[in-house]
Amino acid sequence: MKENSVVVYGVSAYGYDVQVIRNGQVDESNSYSSGNNKFDSEDVVSVDSPDCVPIETLRKYAKTTAEEIAAEENILKVTEDGGICYA
């Protein structure tokens, strides 16, 4: 059976998530999450905080991260899905 893989990313004002989906299952070993704090990517701050990264920048970072993971994993498809963001 041919493996069906895709890298999916989701963005919110509080951060972003990137997940590798292989044959309909999340590959946790290749998932990545980031918060919206410009000084600590593992932290989430209020959207009105001066330390908050703008959502447009988070979307750019999410897409870049997804493309990098896809290249590392030899996956051709990258897509944005606003429904997966847990950050």
Q: What is the mean pLDDT of the chain?
A: 90
- Kindly tell me if the per-residue pLDDT of 71 is higher than 60: yes
User: What range does the domain containing 16 cover?
Assistant: 5-84
Q: What is the pLDDT of residues 51-61, one digit of tens each?
A: 999 999 999 99
Q: Cβ(19)–Cβ(7) under 8 Å?
A: yes
CA 21/CA 64 separation, integer angstroms: 17
CA 1/CA 83 separation, integer angstroms: 28
Residue 25, exposed/middle/buried by CB under 10 A (0-12, 13-18, 19+)?
Answer: exposed
